[in-house]
Structure 1
Amino acid sequence: MTAPDRRVTPDTLPETVSAVVAGEGDMIANMANIAALIFEALPDLNWAGFYLVKDGQLVLGPFQGRVACTRIPFGKGVCGTVARDRQTVVVPDVHAFPGHIACDAASASEIVVPVVMGKELLGVLDIDSPRRDRFTDRDRALLEAVVAQLVQALSPRQ
């Protein structure tokens, strides 16, 4: 699939993700493109990407943004909490989240969505913003739908 010819917006993100992942079963390739699309489509972000489960912890995967934390233990910070609990978490103010890991001091709010295929946790989608209260219920639904598209696109070989 070639890159879309027009700017991606929140309204066009689902259809664009669908087109980009269609027929592509490689998890890393799809995550890389999805991170780029989210970073372009959603305003006021300073980081968008994935952490992958490896050896019982989260390890940095494809992303857009500043340098990030490389490894996050399950149960630590927002990403580790989502990995442990397998439920989306929206954090309006990261400085109020107990145990928040500050990979980028500019981050003020965060949303993290688990990536689960069947019963297996593959990783998490992590989105950060320098603006407090950045993420809405609409963003939550949108990003959960994007993760569902990713999981659907992955081939059985993954």
Structure 2
Amino acid sequence: MSLEELKPQIQSILNDSESEVNNRLFMVCELLEAHIDYYNWVGFYFKNGDKNELKLGPYVGEPTDHTIIPFGKGICGQVAVSSENFVVPDVHAQDNYLSCSITVKAEIVVPIFVNGENIGQIDIDSSTIDPFTEADERFLEFVCKEVAKIL
């Protein structure tokens, strides 16, 4: 299934106001992980109250020890500070990378903005080197904009 074909399904999941927000986010993670071969871990991190750290939200994939990430640490922590997309074609070439699993080869993180404030992000790990394209970035920006509408 193409990224474009997934967009209406994302909207349908997120617009289901009968379901709790975290359940909808989990269902988005499931959809992406199931339909995009190189999305091997899909999750959300959100700013943890007024602390300068991220807290793990709904995700699909291998369990991670990184349930709290200080701002500036790892790829997710850097996106919390920069408020910019971060695409890592090869995690082993990154100095400030928090390893989640030896199978992870690449990562993409896209921030979520609510009223102009970076309140979280979607984080995707891949066990394929350099799988993410500009199309993935644009698609994940779309997902984050749709997620922001329900937060």
Length-normalised TM-score, structure 1 = 0.86
Structure 2 residue aligned with 1:50:
44
2:128 equivalent among 127, 131, 152: 131
CA displacement, residues 94-132 of structure 1 (integer Å, 9 cap, x when unaligned): 111121000112100010011110133221100000111
In structure 1, the gaps of 5 or more residues are 1-7
In structure 2, the gaps of 5 or more residues are none
For the aligned residues, what is the CA RMSD?
1.6
1:66 equivalent among 45, 62, 67: 62
Q: Are the aligned partners of 2:14 and 2:25 in contact in 1 as well (CA < 8 Å)?
A: no
Q: Which letter does structure 2 place at the counterpart of 1:146?
A: V
CA distance in 2, matches of 1:131, 1:110: 10
**Offset at 1:26?**
4.8
Q: Confirm whether residue 96 of structure 1 aligns to residue 93 of structure 2.
A: yes
Q: Which letter does structure 2 place at the counterpart of 1:31?
A: L
Q: Which letter does structure 1 place at the counterpart of 2:97?
A: H
Q: Which letter does structure 2 place at the counterpart of 1:91?
A: V
**Count of aligned pairs between the two proteins:** 147
Length-normalised TM-score, structure 2 = 0.90
**Offset at 1:37?**
1.2
Going from structure 1 to structure 2, the CA distance change for 1:71 and 1:9 (only over 3 Å counts) comes to same
CA distance in 2, matches of 1:34, 1:137: 20
Q: Are the aligned partners of 2:32 and 2:39 in contact in 1 as well (CA < 8 Å)?
A: no
**Offset at 1:9?**
4.4
